[in-house]
Structure 1
Amino acid sequence: MKKTLLSAATAVAMTMAATAAAHDHRCLEETCTLQALFASEPGAGGASTSGDPVAAQRMGSWGIDTAGMDTSVRPGEDFFGYVSGNWAKTTQIPSDKSSYGAFLVLRDLSEARVRQLVEGYDVADAAHPDRAKVATLYAGFMDQAAIEALGAQPLAPKLAAIRAAGDKDALARLMGQSQGDFGRSFFGLGVSDDQRDPDRYTLYMSQSGLGLGDREMYLRETFAPQRERYQAYIAQMLELGGWENPQRNAEAILALETKIAEAHWTRAESRDRDKTYNPVELSAFATTAPGFPWATYFAAAGVPQAPRAVVRQSTAIPKLAAIFGQTDVATLQAWQAFHTIDNAAPLLSKAFSDARFEFRNKFLSGQPEEQERWKRGVAFAENTMGEAIGRDYVALYFPADAKAKMDALVANVKVAMGARLEQLDWMGPATKAEARRKLDGFGLKIGHPDQWRDYSGLVVEPGDVFGNAERSMAFEWDYRRNRLGKEVDKGEWGMTPQTVNAYYNSVKNEIVFPAAILQPPFFDPDADPAVNYGAIGGVIGHEIIHGFDDQGRKSDGEGVLRDWWTAEDAAKFEAQAAKLGAQYEAYTFPQLPGMHINGKVAMGENIGDLGGITIALEAYRRSLDGKPAPEIDGFSGEQRLFMGWAQVWRTLWRDDALRQQLVNGTHSPGHIRAFAPLRNVDAWYDAFDVREGDALWIAPEDRVRIW
């Protein structure tokens, strides 16, 4: 439903907003101290340190890190190298990361600020129960000695329940219960805005069940080493959990997941909104997908009152039900046991957490070292009570004028998008009129929710890390499922304010920018306007274009999934999109022979990038009001705009992480995004004298022109 700007490798946990009063205290400057926030409220715990733990770093004197450039490189040969070549040569990926770049620099900043907040909370703060709960969550996670002493004990009741599930009905019950605990299912349930009726919540069902993420990891020969290591990891975790016959069961689990992978739709198929809206009455599943105890499953998930579920992969669900019916009970039990152990491992003793890190982070993504304990503790607290922390975060780190400046920028970019619509020569008047109505209806959320999530019903117990996590999952699922059939909360957010990201929500037809992304290199109110237009302007444009990309274009201005295009205009759009996909699929990665970007999977993001920088350029030109742009350090305004875009996407990858991004991600790698869309923008060629014969040259007639 949402399209996010970041890759999965850098995305942080997302929580949703609901009710509660807005924050009472706002610091007007980013330099306000935590003591100032806490001291203004009786009974608050004092902070452990003072001031901003890490300042948001400006990029050079006017918005571009000129020291990070490599001007010996011709822009037309390697624009990423030209803008960020010296940065790439002198920057090391931190040992606790698998990639590094502009997003993760800001994520580190946000993480440090949240740490200072969390460590400043008091578990005995009766006046502020949310802070007390967050402090309790964090303190429990940080008590390694207590966690180590428990060993595998927290798992014992879960594994006992799996052993006691001696038939298919009992196993289906466990799968239903997994919506709110550490377990796993062949099917994923979710509650969200109905794509055909955006004012009401509905139940969605999607394919699930794979421990390696994507079907390609099971079916392509090139990933044989990953499968071999995965099987060894399954056996290792089963043995740690005391499950019988770990080696034999690991082999059976991998074989089972391979069958599941064969039944799964591809990622490209699963993002096609024309094919993924398939409402099925709950009572009809027994006949449309036989072999699985559906009534038991839905009852255990707590959704038997739902009249229907919107099935995303219509042909996969019956196949998964049949696989369940054909698989022996012992294998299903072992599969459930492994995934329960795997999901719980980060909250268990060192033997479990280290094993998971060694496989999932170090082997699959190339991350040399585990994150420090406090970072994992911060993530645990954020996953559980993200908006409670966010309320204090924005009081300290979101200046009052930031929203006003963003409002103005977004308004300018929207005007530019409207102008681009009118200029399109491939789109007919009927489709243009619908597109204009959709653009006019775009909603905007900046910084933070107007109302905050209510955590009063969440039970947090001192010293019970495992139980706190399980209660949190149940709390979250209850919150979701109890909304079924009710009116949609239009004010809800899909990210916390401290998240470095942005998104477009097609069902609400809105773009959302959390507070944490509104900092350099994305947005600096004191930077050169051209750089801001290339950076945050391009990001704003990217999110607007998601309403008009290959999938977002399928919803109208009210968020309703319907076809509002003429057949002729749709065909022209699809032809240009196919050309763009072919461009991206042609990029090679010498360190990963045979690996390529999947143009269909990344299509929406690539269209977003191309359209984003195109309308950002239009907005910048309009902002000049006919006056010439000043020259700064020998760079023209349009040069600075394109440099601002490229600087946002500076990224370094470990080889294994890049492989995971290409297989499991929906975004092209950042270093590609820095230059790939610009190859289709005529003004970029003019700005940097890019000529025929240069490596990045595309002939004018072959350039993709969509929005």
Structure 2
Amino acid sequence: MKATSPILRRRLLALTLAAACVGSVYAAAPTVAPASKPDVVADHIDTSVKPGDDFFEFANGAWLKSHPIPAEESQWGIGQVVQDELYAKLRKISENAAADKSAKPGSDEQKVGDFWTIAMDQPLADKLGITPLKEELSRIDAVHDVNSTLDEAFALQQIGVGLFFDFALSQDEKQSDVMAVHLWQGGLGLPERDYYFNQEKGVAKVRTAYVGHLQRVFHLLGKSDAEAAASAKQVMAFETALAKVSRPLADLRDPEKNYNKMAPADLTSTYTPSIAWNTRLAGWKLPASTVIVGQPEFFKGLQALLSKTPAPVLRDYMRVHLVDAYASYLSQDFDNERFSFYGTTLNGQAEQKPRWKRALRAENQALGMILGRIYVKDYFSEAAKQRYNTMVEAVRTAYAERIDKLDWMSPATKAKAHEKLEAVTKKVGYPDKWKDYSKLTIGRTSYAQNMMNAARWEFDDTVAKFGKPVDRSEWEMTPQTYNAYYNPSNNEIVLPAAQFIIPGFTDDQIDDAVVYGYVAASTIGHEITHGFDDEGRQYDAKGNLKDWWTKEDAERFKQRADVMVKQFNAYEPLPGLHINGKASLGENIADFGGIMIGLDAFKKTEQYKKGEKIAGYTPLQRFFLGYALGWLSQEREQQLRTGLLADVHAPAKWRVNGPLSNVPDFYQAFDVKQGQPMWRPEDQRVKIW
């Protein structure tokens, strides 16, 4: 998985699991003799489906049919099973901390224990109601013009309420050893700008439901029915205008077009006369001489909206965004209203997850690295860390050999590709240096107050990096995060400890074929390939946005990538809604590249060379079944719709069938014939890495 931009850092959940060395690392699987266990992949197969017709359903169908989506979930698959296992471990850590009466004030144990205790106290949250937000709501009440609007908007940004625009302090894309201020389009309540315009009937229903949600929030805040209806309509109109000046999702993946460096004073004079950026940034203790603006036209549009929008509408816009940001930590009426729209309408969940799971989700957000430090001590070994470090090197070697064999890339570009590949840093398991949370105050005043304290601490921690050397050892994910990522500015792959969980099996019960499909292909190879996808390839070995391709090679790459765009554009998971081939191109290239590289590495193993069947399947077949296992998932129509409009990842089914339809060894392994849905003429297959 990869961020769509340096400002958003959208690490959306990806079911890219790693599957080896689990039993010796995690005490998760029951003690069962290997012979008595179902096969790790064969047990999931639906033999009524032909592999060449729909490999995803063939590989995963039996499991999906016998495991319907629970009412509290918007999707269900191996990722959620792993997540439940993680929750059980983290709950134990939290409950132990809460029970520890000897924890010293300010210690990790005190912070975890107090956070857990107060997060689980529903009666207290109900008693407090909206009180934890009273101070901020009072400041919003005092807003009377554009300047006072901006005073409060900049203050709310510090507690995680993204009003009008998004802000981040991250590496300068063209000078990766310098931390830079980034300003990006934002401020919307719906997941993505196209939600405000797409005419598909399901999206239209979401728009209507969103206005209803806004109206109910205003009613909870004390407005009459008529006042709430009017406010909701006006906020929706404001956000629609904001969406209109925002770039579409696919256009946010062009790093050059989204890199516009200028002095803050020039941003003010040219685009936003109402926002004195030098003064505003100084208020955040950011005396920046330059800022990197993602979408200058958005800020010009924002200026026009600020100038013509009445103060009461701006107040209502800020109120509803503040409440939505903190509703999950307030009384049940606010919590239920937020869930009704964002949980049920957008994602199809029939009911809320139990409070303890929601508390853990918030605790991970607020105290992630504190929990992570305890988690890896209890559940992740140094031996496991070393094993996956070794696996990364095996995949790196296979990638280098594949680069050498490319017939479309010139020697000059190959040399640069090798330089970048060799420079890729691997981070496995957990950080070598842990974050210092000593300045974070966690108490028992209120759940929302703890979340505000955590958000403010994170903001201050981020701002404190300005003017200092880039800390390339820092992690953007906690060890207990079920995910992985590639960071182009650091030219690194990051594989958290929790990524190496597969429930129900120990390492000696999983053969190399499945491990290579499940780990080397869908995780390690995938993340390394992000350094060479349509966006990542534009960064050099040092993480700088710098063209290292010959003009001819770049054109050949684009021609090959365009084949993949066309393929995915043709997929229509819901009537009238296709996959966005351009927006999802980076992930699709990474999936395809990961498979090809993982397969190359697997072909060096003894299991592949021997060719012996296990559970009736050859090593090559089991490799592809292992890859499909990593995407074992089904989702509700509402979440599928949300993903198609707002996610740069294709849905799980097409992350299997899409790339595999381009892999020659897949055709051989399952005897895919012309006329079957997954068959493509050879001259229409993607051939990149």
Task: State the TM-score, normalizing by the size of structure 2.
Answer: 0.93
Q: 2:517 aligns with which of 510, 534, 537?
A: 534
Give the whole-Å Cα distance in 1 for the aligned partners of 2:504 and 2:207.
39
Tell me if structure 2 keeps the 8 A contact 1:648–1:674: no
* Aligned-residue offset at 1:407: 1.6
Aligned to 1:563: 547
- TM-superposed CA distance for 1:57, in Å, is 13
Cα shift at 1:56: 13
C-alpha separation between the residues in 1 aligned to 2:503 and 2:591? 17
Q: Secondary structure at the match of 2:383?
A: helix
The corresponding residue for 1:19 is: none
1:227 paired with 2:207, answer yes
Rounded Cα–Cα distance in structure 1 between residues aligned with 2:358 and 2:205? 28
Report the counterpart of residue 581 of structure 2 in structure 1. 599
- Residue-by-residue CA offset, 1:283-329 (whole Å, 9 max, x unaligned): 22221213422348724750441112111112222111221122111
Matched, 1:408 2:385: no
Q: Partner amino acid for 2:525?
A: G
Residues in 1 aligned to 2:462 and 2:319: alpha-carbon distance in whole angstroms: 26
SS in 1 for 2:59: helix
Residues 165 and 183, structure 2, Cα contact 8 Å, conserved in 1: yes
Which secondary structure state, in structure 1, belongs to the residue aligned with residue 604 of structure 2? helix
Distance in 1 between residues matched to 2:558 and 2:315, nearest whole Å: 46
Instruction: Measure, in 2, the Cα distance between the counterparts of 1:460 and 1:633.
Output: 53
**Matched letter for residue 466 of structure 1:** A
Q: Please point out which of 547, 553, 560 is paired with 2:531.
A: 547
Q: Does 1:82 align with 2:65?
A: no
Contact 2:13-2:483 at 8 Å conserved across structures:
no
* Residues 125 and 95 of structure 1: CA distance in aligned 2, closer, same or farther (over 3 Å): farther
User: Which 5+ residue runs of structure 2 have no aligned equivalent?
Assistant: 16-21
Contact 1:176–1:300 at 8 Å: present in 2 too? no
Cα gap change, 1:56 to 1:233, in 2 (>3 Å): farther
Which residue pairs with 2:149 in the alignment? 171
Match status 1:65 vs 2:48: no
* C-alpha distance in 1 between matches for 2:539 and 2:222: 50
Residue in 1 that maps onto 2:19:
none
Amino acid at match of 2:90: V
Write the distance in 2 (CA, Å) between the matches of 1:699 and 1:201: 48
Aligned-partner SS, 2:501: coil
Q: CA deviation at 1:111?
A: 1.4
Distance 2:165 2:283 in 1: 11
Q: Deviations over 1:541-574 (max 9, x none)?
A: 0001000000000000010110111111111111
For residues 3-18 of structure 1, the aligned pairs below 5 Å read 3=3, 10=13
Q: CA deviation at 1:423?
A: 0.5
Q: In the alignment, what sits opposite 1:352?
A: 334
Please give the secondary structure, in 2, of the residue aligned with 1:353: helix
Match of 1:466 among 424, 435, 448: 448
Corresponding position of 1:126: 103
Distance 1:670 1:56, change over 3 A: farther
Distance in structure 1 (CA, Å) of the matches to 2:387 and 2:38? 18
* Alignment map for 1:473-492 (pairs within 5 Å): 473-492=455-474
Compared with structure 1, are the counterparts of its residues 31 and 218 closer, same or farther at alpha carbon in structure 2 (3 Å cutoff)? closer
Q: Which of 597, 606, 616 is the matching residue for 1:615?
A: 597
Measured after TM superposition, the shift of residue 28 of structure 1 is 11
Q: Is contact 1:551-1:604 (8 Å) kept? A: yes
The amino acid that maps onto 1:532 is V
Query: Contact 1:8–1:665 (CA<8 Å) still a contact in 2?
Result: no
Hey, what's the Cα distance between the residues in 2 that align with 1:77 and 1:440? 39
Letter in 2 for 1:377: A
Query: d(CA) in 1 for partners of 2:254 and 2:554?
Result: 15
Residue aligned with 1:190, SS:
strand
3-state SS of 2:258 partner: coil
Q: Aligned match of 2:84 in 95, 102, 108?
A: 108
Report the residue type matching 1:116 in the other structure.
K
Q: 1:211 corresponds to which residue? A: 189
User: 1:242 corresponds to which residue?
Assistant: 222
Contact residue 59 and residue 65 of structure 1 kept, 8 A? no
Q: CA deviation at 1:522?
A: 12
Query: CA 1:226/1:405 → structure 2, altered by over 3 Å: closer, same or farther?
Result: same
Residue of structure 2 in register with 1:24 after alignment: none
The reply on whether 1:497 has 2:479 as its aligned counterpart is yes
Shift of residue 65 of structure 1? 3.0
Q: Partner of 1:676: helix, strand, or coil? A: helix
Once the 2 structures are TM-superposed, how far is the Cα of residue 464 of structure 1 from its aligned partner? 2.1
User: Is the contact between residue 545 and residue 608 of structure 1 (CA under 8 Å) also seen in structure 2?
Assistant: yes
**Match of residue 156, structure 1, among 99, 121, 134:** 134
Match of 1:587 in 2: 571
Q: Quick one: distance in 1 between partners of 2:274 and 2:34?
A: 57
Alignment map for 1:27-46 (pairs within 5 Å): 30=25
Secondary structure in 2 matching 1:221: coil
Cα 1:125–1:562 change in 2 (3 A) is: farther
Q: Report if the CA contact (8 A) 2:24-2:507 is conserved.
A: no
Aligned to 1:574: 558
TM-score, normalised by the number of residues in structure 1: 0.91
What's the CA shift string for 1:149-192, capped at 9, x where partnerless? 11222222211110111111111111111221254421111011
Judged with a 3 Å threshold, the aligned counterparts in structure 2 of structure 1 residues 30 and 414 are, in CA distance, closer, same or farther, namely closer
User: Deviations for 1:327-348, whole angstroms, at most 9, x for unmatched residues?
Assistant: 1111111100111111111111
Letter in 2 for 1:230: Y
Partners of 2:82 and 2:371 in 1: CA distance:
17
Instruction: State, as a whole percentage, how many aligned pairs show the same letter.
Output: 36
One-letter amino acid matched to 1:682: P
| Equivalent of residue 308 in structure 1, options 272, 279, 290 | 290
Deviation at 1:29, TM superposition (A): 5.4
Contact 1:7-1:666 at 8 Å conserved across structures: no
Q: Which amino acid in the other structure matches residue 266 of structure 1? A: P
In structure 2, what is the equivalent of residue 375 of structure 1?
357
Q: Tell me how far 1:67 sits from its aligned partner.
A: 2.0
Q: Secondary structure at the match of 1:462?
A: coil
SS in 1 for 2:177: coil
1:411-450 aligned at under 5 Å gives the runs: 411-450=393-432
Contact 1:542 1:608 in 2 (8 A): yes
Separation (CA, whole Å) in 2 of partners of 1:690 and 1:390? 45
Contact 1:175 1:297 in 2 (8 A): no
Tell me the distance in 1 between the aligned counterparts of 2:155 and 2:75.
35
Determine helix, strand or coil for the equivalent of 2:371.
helix
Q: Does structure 1 retain, via aligned residues, the 8 Å contact 2:163–2:321?
A: no
- Could you tell me whether the CA contact under 8 Å between 1:138 and 1:380 is conserved in 2? no
Q: Is the 8 A contact 2:592 2:659 kept in 1?
A: yes
Shift in Å, 1:53: 10
Where do 5+ consecutive residues of structure 1 fail to align?
A: 13-26, 33-51
Name the counterpart of 1:18: none
Deviation of the 1:627 alpha carbon: 3.6
Deviation at 1:243, TM superposition (A): 4.6
Distance 1:85 1:576 in 2: 32
Q: Which amino acid aligns with 1:581?
A: V
CA distance in 2, matches of 1:421, 1:650: 30
Seen in structure 2, the aligned counterparts of structure 1 residues 132 and 58 have a Cα distance that, compared at 3 Å, is farther
